[in-house]
Structure 1
Amino acid sequence: MLRILIVEDEHLAARRLERLIREIDSQVEICETLDTVQGTVAWLQEHEVDLIFLDIHLADGNSFSIFEKIDVSTPIIFVTAYDQYAVRAFKVNSVDYLLKPIEQEDLAQAIDKFKQNHTAPAPFDISALMQAMQSQQTAAAPVFQKRFMVTSGDKIKSIPIEEVAYFFGQQKYVFLVTKDNRRHIVDFTLGKLEELLDPEQFYRINRQFIIGYKSISNMFAYSKSRVKIELDPVSEIDAIVSIEKSKHFKNWLNR
């Protein structure tokens, strides 16, 4: 029986991951589901498992700090929402990664890879992983979008990212809104913009909006633990953080 530890700070995401794992292999044992660095460190000091599913961003910090506190020899499958530049490093030592939202086919392949590579358990060298990740990040530092080309009538102009307040989708178009309240259509989907924008400065709060941190004028408590945002410049469409994004959004604000 495969014993698994899940470390994920989004309750719904953790429950979904557990359900998908059980659908793939009904014989697994989910030993525990944790949501913090501190809790994971304490638990691993007292327990052993065969495989860990580890979210990178937890409620109380980056999960890599776990390895600074204790030695971990258990193979790990990392779970990440956007860390595309470090993701190649996770391939060392048979470590795999899953991008959120997790697809069942990808999950099945990751578990199958683990089973094939660990029929005869070998020590897992987490230090090699950390060194590989650091080298990868040094060699391929993130390069985010610096400006956007837009058209205004028969004119073409380039808007520096510093002048962008937020993006929103409406009908079949995606609009860029500048800090001086000018609106331009951009030839990108919101999904693609998530990859192009610096995640320290921009956050996708729902399916319709990606907002810049400096565009937040006020925030208000909304129903079901959501947050309603008053944007600057003012948006005609309500900017409300979705339920599944609320917890991560608050963590993003608290960095």
Structure 2
Amino acid sequence: MNIIIIEDEFRAAKSLQNLITELKPEAKIIGVYDSIEMSIEALKDSKPDLIFMDIHLSDGLSFEIFKQAEITCPVVFCTAFDQYMLDAFKSKGVDYVLKPFSREDIAEAFRKVDELKKFFQKTELPDLEALIQKITQPQTPAKTSFLVFKNQKYTTILTENIAYFFIHNEITHLMTFDKQQFQLTQTLGQIAEQVSQKQFFRVNRQYIVNFSAIKEMEHYFQRKILVKLTVETPEQLLINKEKSHSFFSWLEDR
């Protein structure tokens, strides 16, 4: 399997290379590119089997690449923004991974690519729309509780009693409505896939909030949104302008 990485963040590109080598040692990374221009030029001569692609590149949105280069292979989009999901799946996307991604996120992306290949091998006229829906839908129901360990004791916390999840010192925590804090072993990306998408929203890289915990919102500098919860957060909870539209759409979807 020949793989191309299109990513303008050095650390993210390096992390992807390491995870791909670990998860698919037989794969060959034939190129790493950090701009639309470089990617278009490279794709004129390269025919990869899979592309890992960021959306926000230094010279624009990566969807421009599809307008000027012929891409016939599956694409896994890795981005910090969730509002481009529909566009991604219209552009040969088979998975949409939010940063910061984990080993499990990339492993799941490879699983979906493998499932896609098996489907084409068995079916002469595949229904691509049905296939994409099948491989992107949650595989399990939303979690109703989380197992935690504190003071030498295990206990379970009902998901409905969790005000928000957050990262502190690179460790994932949950905060309950009665202000109890617990550490978790899951990454924030894993939790985002496990909880109800209707009840919880990942507002940024550090926080996932419960709809029931939201008290009020107000405009902030640089067109950001300041979110205030009924349970205080360790730092200000800000949503950037790129994500504010999807956030308000989520609030209205009741």
For normalisation by structure 1, the TM-score amounts to: 0.53
1:173 maps onto 2:198 in alignment = no
1:204 matched to 2:202: yes
Q: Report the CA distance between 1:137 and its aligned residue.
A: 6.8
Measure, in 2, the Cα distance between the counterparts of 1:64 and 1:170. Answer: 31
Q: How many residues align?
A: 185
1:43-58 equivalences under 5 Å are none
Partner SS state of residue 24, structure 1: helix
Q: Name the aligned partner's letter for residue 24 of structure 1.
A: S
What does 1:157-196 align with in structure 2 at a 5 Å threshold?
157-196=155-194
CA distance in 2, matches of 1:89, 1:254: 36
Gaps of 5+ in 2: 1-32, 45-60, 99-104
Kindly, what percent of the aligned residue pairs are identical?
20
Q: Could you report, residue by residue, the CA deviation over 1:48-74 in whole angstroms, capped at 9, with x for unpaired residues?
A: x9669999x768x956999xxxxxxxx
2:240 aligned to which of 239, 242, 253: 242
1:130 alignment counterpart: 129
Contact 1:89 1:136 in 2 (8 A): no
Give the residue type in structure 2 aligned to 1:167.
Answer: F
User: What's the secondary structure of 2:35's corresponding residue?
Assistant: helix
CA distance in 1, matches of 2:143, 2:128: 29
| Structure 1: gaps of 5 or more residues | 1-17, 36-46, 67-74, 96-123
Q: Give the C-alpha shift of residue 165 in structure 1.
A: 0.9
Coordinate RMSD, CA, aligned: 4.4
| Distance in 1 separating the partners of 2:166 and 2:241 | 18
Dislocated runs of 4+, deviation >4 Å: 49-55, 61-66, 81-90, 92-95, 134-138
The yes-or-no answer on 1:20 pairing with 2:35 is yes
* CA distance in structure 2 between the aligned counterparts of 1:78 and 1:132, rounded to whole angstroms: 9
Tell me the distance in 2 between the aligned counterparts of 1:198 and 1:235: 21
- In 1, distance between residues paired with 2:200 and 2:92? 29
Do residues 80 (structure 1) and 96 (structure 2) align?
yes
Q: Quick check: 1:217 aligned with 2:198?
A: no
Indicate the SS of the match to 1:23.
helix
Query: C-alpha separation between the residues in 1 aligned to 2:245 and 2:35?
Result: 22
Structure 1 counterpart of 2:153: 155
Distance in 1 separating the partners of 2:43 and 2:36: 8
Q: CA deviation at 1:132?
A: 2.8
Q: 1:87 to 1:58 in 2, by over 3 A?
A: farther
Residue-by-residue CA offset, 1:18-71 (whole Å, 9 max, x unaligned): 973321223889xxx8x9xxxxxxxxxxx9x9669999x768x956999xxxxx
SS at 2:148 equivalent:
strand
Higher Cα radius of gyration: 1
- Give the Cα–Cα distance (whole angstroms) in 2 for the partners of residues 178 and 58 of structure 1: 28
Deviation at 1:78, TM superposition (A): 5.4
- SS of 1:26's equivalent in the other structure is helix
Q: Tell me the distance in 2 between the aligned counterparts of 1:173 and 1:146.
A: 21
